[in-house]
Structures are given as C-alpha cells and as structure tokens.
Amino acid sequence: MIAAAHFETKKAQGAALLPRTQLVFDTGPSRFMNKGTNGWWQGVFLSDDPALYDALVDANFAPDLALWVANGRLGCPMAANIAGCHRASRA
C-alpha cells in the first residue's frame, strides 16, 4: 500500500489517473506530473504575490478552509511551527 502512494508509482499510472491531461499537455500526464524540482516555476510569481495571496485568503476563507487549501485533507502536524504547515498559526 505504501508503494502505491509513492510519486513514482502515481506518475507511472498517470494515464489511468489523469486521462484528460493528454488534451492539455503535449505529452499528457508525464508532462503534468513532476516534483517541481526542475525550476520551471521560478520567475512565475512576483515577490509581492505571496502576501497578496495571504491577504485574499484571510479576507475570503474561513480559517478551516484556509488550512485545508494550504495543507490538504490531512491538515497540519500538531506543532504549528513545523515547516510546511503554512498558515497554521493564523487559524
């Protein structure tokens, strides 16, 4: 079960998991599914964008929704100061 949850397993099963990505990406799910380590995302956002995003979230989302959007269905670790638990201290 643990092996089925690995990124590499999901990517290998990309066509079954994300069948419509072929319509959007020229190489289908293999282009869509990456770990974000290639740097393609660099330079996309302006330096002010994170603060703007946080302000919009604070103005429009209930704290529980903001936490779910930032951290997924499993939420945050118990210690709010753990790196990767975005916005936990604001909830």
Work out how many domains the chain is built from and give that number: 2
**53 and 79 together in one domain:** yes
pLDDT in tens, 4-46: 778 788 888 888 888 888 788 777 777 777 777 777 777 888 8
Q: What pTM does this model have?
A: 0.43
pLDDT score for 13: 84
Query: For residue 19, how many C-alpha atoms fall within 13 Å in the half-sphere facing its CB?
Result: 1
Domain carrying residue 70: 49-90
**86 and 55 together in one domain:** yes
77 domain-assigned: yes
25 domain-assigned: yes
41 domain-assigned: no
Contact 33, 22 (CB under 8 A): no
**Rounded distance between C-alpha atoms, residue 34 and residue 28, angstroms:** 12
**86 and 57 together in one domain:** yes
